[in-house]
């Protein structure tokens, strides 16, 4: 009997039908019990997964529902196979990226603050990122996505999904990936592409090559007033350099990930100007979890049948 460890609780609506011949072993997030299992469906949060893994014995397969599993790589020892959730986040993360872009361009966080103050902050107002096509008092705080140039850094499945959702807005898309291919530039060309973009979307995996990739020099290459959207991992961006660029008024930012994470109380990113934060929730929707557990059940079926597993991660993280 194949022993499958999985997080508890999982809403019944999210639970797929697992193949016969398995023993499902729910593991509570706060459980201190030692479990012997063969196939582990890991919690999506490191703070739960890490202590849980320390209490597991006999694990042969780790199935993560996340696309980014860099922090799990030390667990890939001899006899252990790690599989990620590549392809599961395309819809939710792509929708978050488009929503974040529109939120920033339309200045929704500002107007939400004004609503709480019951202050009618109308359009006869100037601002750091107002339209400069007309002199005051005709400056309007909002902006249009149409006609913007969007640079997608990390053009994989999620990057393509972001582009598909942006195309109806009439944008020009530039694409960057680890290696060049038709219509996609290599990461080595990023410095020359940054000055061309109004919006830069980061969706790269965290690797030694991408760690700190957006440092002070790279941020300075961005157009004045350009928008940085980070849906990748926090350490891809140099946090101190980002805070400085925001305070200088050089760029704007929408972040779902930060470094450190969780962002501690009092950290300067919380109060940095022209910065909107969400707490690493871009991929977290009920539909994502349904897709994720269905995928995990299909992986279990492949394992039982002796078929190759999908999304196997090597020691380099991809």
Distance of CA 21 to the CA centre of its chain: 35
Q: State the number of CA atoms in the 13 A half-sphere of 79 facing the CB.
A: 5
Phi, psi of 86 (to 5 degrees): -55, 130
Is-contact 43 77, C-beta < 8 A? no
Is-contact 142 105, C-beta < 8 A? yes
What is 281-300 written as a DSSP string? -TT--HHHHHHHHHHHHHHH
Say whether 261 is catalytic.
yes
Cβ-based burial of 132 (10 A; exposed 0-12, middle 13-18, buried ≥19): exposed
Say whether 172 is catalytic.
no
Strands 226-230 and 199-202: parallel
Q: How far apart are CA 167 and CA 171, in angstroms?
A: 6
Catalytic entry in 178, 233, 252, 291: 233
- Helix/strand/coil for 172: strand
Say whether 35 is catalytic.
no
Return contacts of 117-125, CB within 8 angstroms, 24+ apart.
none
Count of helix runs (H) and strand runs (E) in the chain: 9, 15
Residue 214 is given by DSSP the state B
Q: How far apart are CA 122 and CA 106, in angstroms?
A: 13
Catalytic entry in 8, 144, 189, 261: 261
Catalytic entry in 89, 178, 252, 280: 280
Q: Sheet of 22-28: strands edge to edge? A: 22-28, 2-8, 39-41, 61-63, 81-83, 312-313
Q: Which residues are catalytic?
A: 233, 261, 280
């Amino acid at each position: 009997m194949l022993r499958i460890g999985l997080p508890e609780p999982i809403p019944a609506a999210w639970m797929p039908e697992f193949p016969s011949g398995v023993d499902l072993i729910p593991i509570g997030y706060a459980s201190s019990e030692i479990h012997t299992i063969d196939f582990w469906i890991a919690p999506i949060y490191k703070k739960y997964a890490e202590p849980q893994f320390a209490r597991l014995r006999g694990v042969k397969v780790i199935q993560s529902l996340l696309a980014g599993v860099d922090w799990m790589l030390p667990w890939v020892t001899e006899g252990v196979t790690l599989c990620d959730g590549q392809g599961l986040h395309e819809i939710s993360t792509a929708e978050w990226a488009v929503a974040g872009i529109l939120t920033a361009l339309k200045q929704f966080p500002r107007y939400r603050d004004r609503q709480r103050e019951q202050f009618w902050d109308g359009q006869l107002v100037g601002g750091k990122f107002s339209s400069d096509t007309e002199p005051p008092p005709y400056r309007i705080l909002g902006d249009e996505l149409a006609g913007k140039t969007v640079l997608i850094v990390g053009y994989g499945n999620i990057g393509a999904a972001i582009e598909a959702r942006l195309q109806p807005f009439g944008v020009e898309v530039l694409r960057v990936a680890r290696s060049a291919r038709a219509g996609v530039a290599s990461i080595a060309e990023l410095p020359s592409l940054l000055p061309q973009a109004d919006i830069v979307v980061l969706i790269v995996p965290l690797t030694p090559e991408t760690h700190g990739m957006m440092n002070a020099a790279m941020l300075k290459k961005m157009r004045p007033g350009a928008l940085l959207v980070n849906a990748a991992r926090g350490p891809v961006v140099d946090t101190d350099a980002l805070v400085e660029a925001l305070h200088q008024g050089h760029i704007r930012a929408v972040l779902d990930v930060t470094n450190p994470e969780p962002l501690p109380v009092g950290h300067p990113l919380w109060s940095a100007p022209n910065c909107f934060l969400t707490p690493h929730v871009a991929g977290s929707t009920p539909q994502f979890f349904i897709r994720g557990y269905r995928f995990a059940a299909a992986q279990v079926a492949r394992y039982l049948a002796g078929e190759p597993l999908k999304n196997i991660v090597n020691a380099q993280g991809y």
